Amino acid sequence: NAGVTQTPKFRVLKTGQSMTLLCAQDMNHEYMYWYRQDPGMGLRLIHYSVGEGTTAKGEVPDGYNVSRLKKQNFLLGLESAAPSQTSVYFCASSYFWTVTDTQYFGPGTRLTVL
């Protein structure tokens, strides 16, 4: 199993450009999440999904959109990138929220917006 993978690993954008980050998991997990990590701060939740076809806002959703058309994929889109969106983005997934459940993280995508 590959676990949680993210594409791309690095990206540089100019202000106003758009892009989509892809997260894929092969663990048949129901729940998927997108986080951002800024220097000196912990991860903050952007959006999440509790199942195929569903999405919901997290802590810092402004400027991002997401889609979960297939259970194994969770896409994060930036329609008009801004320098404030320069960050490392992490995707995570979990099977459910049972007592023993755990979120599994991808390796991250470093995004720079000039």
Partner 1 sequence: AQTVTQSQPEMSVQEAETVTLSCTYDTSESDYYLFWYKQPPSRQMILVIRQEAYKQQNATENRFSVNFQKAAKSFSLKISDSQLGDAAMYFCAYRRVIQGAQKLVFGQGTRLTINP
Phi/psi zone of residue 40: left (φ > 0), alpha (ψ -120 to 50 degrees), beta? left
When the beta carbons of 73 and 105 are compared against partner 1, the nearer one is: 105
* Region from 17-25, 39-47, 63-71, 72-80 binding partner 1, contact rule CB under 8 A: 39-47
Check residue 2 for interaction with partner 1 (CB under 8 A). no
Dist. CA 73–CA 27, nearest whole Å: 11
Number of CB atoms found within 10 A of residue 65's CB: 14
Instruction: Report in angstroms how near the CB of residue 90 gets to partner 1 at its nearest.
Output: 6
**Of positions 80, 107, 112, 114, contacts partner 1 by CB under 8 A:** 107
